[in-house]
Amino acid sequence: MRSLLAALGFLTRVPVPVWVLKDAGVTKDSLVWYPAVGLLVGSVLWSLGWLGSDLPPLLRAALLLLVWVGLTGALHLDGLADSADAWVGGLGDRERTLAIMKDPRSGPMGVTAVVLVLLLKFAALASLPLAGTALWLAPMLARAAITAAFLCTPYVRSQGLGSALTHAPRLACIAGVLAAVVLAAWCGWHGVRALLAVTVVFACWRYACMHRLGGMTGDTLGALTELVEAAVLVALV
C-alpha cells in the first residue's frame, strides 16, 4: 500500500504523507502501480464524463481537460515542453539536448507543443461518446507505457527523478503492464485500436530517445505520457 501511495503522490496531486515520497525503497516499488494510478485517474474522468452528460460537448470537453490537467498537476505537460525545446534546440547533439531539458524556462517550441497536444485532446474529447472507454483507457495505457519504458530503455540521468525507479522489481512491473494490456483488450475492438496506437507511439518515441540520447529522461517520459494519451483519444474517435 505504501508503494501505491507513492505512485499516487508522484503522478497526481492527491495528497499523501510526505514520508512516503521520501522513502527510496517505496519509491522504487511504486513503478509497479503506475498503470493502476492511470486507471484511477481514468475512473475519475469517466465518472465526470457521465455526470456531465447533459452539458454541451465543447463545455464538457473543456471541463474534463481542466480536471485532467489539474489532477495530474501538469507534470507530464512540463516534460513535453522541455522535450520539444530540447529536441529542436539541441540540433542533434546529445549533451546540448540534455542541457536544454534542465533549463526550467519554456521556449517557443515547448509552448507550441503543449498548446497543440491540449488542442488535440480537447477536440478528441468533444468528439467522443459520453463517458466512453477512452476516458479511462488513455490515462491507464499512458502510465503503463512509463512502466514499460523502464523495462526496455536505459535511464541516462544518474540523479534524475526517475533514477530510483530503475531498480523496480522487474517481474512485478511486467505483470502490471500485462494487466493493463489485458484490461484494454477486454474492451474489444476499441481496446485493440488503443493498443495499436500506443505501440506505434512507443516505438517511435523509443527510437528517437535511443538515437539522440542513448536512453530516456524524466522529461522524455512526460512527453511519452502526453503523446500516448493524445494518440489513444484520437484513435478512438
Instruction: List 216's β-bridge partners, or say none.
Output: 155
Q: Determine the Cα–Cα distance for residues 12 and 91; give it in Å rounded to an integer.
A: 33
Looking at the whole model, is its pTM more than 0.85? yes
The pLDDT value recorded for residue 73 is 94
Q: Which amino acid is at 167?
A: H
Ranges of residues in the chain with a pLDDT under 50 are none
The pLDDT value recorded for residue 198 is 98
The pLDDT value recorded for residue 20 is 65
Q: All 3 cell numbers of residue 95? A: 549533451
The pLDDT value recorded for residue 27 is 78
The pLDDT value recorded for residue 25 is 66
The pLDDT value recorded for residue 134 is 87
The strand ranges marked E within 98-231 are none
DSSP state of 166: G
In this predicted model, what pLDDT tens digit does every residue of 139-196 receive, in sequence order? 999 999 999 999 999 999 877 667 788 889 999 999 999 999 999 999 999 999 999 9
Nearest 5°: the CA angle 4, 69, 154 is 55
Q: Determine the Cα–Cα distance for residues 118 and 200; give it in Å rounded to an integer.
A: 20
Is the Cβ–Cβ distance between 92 and 236 less than 8 Å?
Answer: no
In 3D, which of 46, 77, 49 has the Cα closest to residue 63?
49
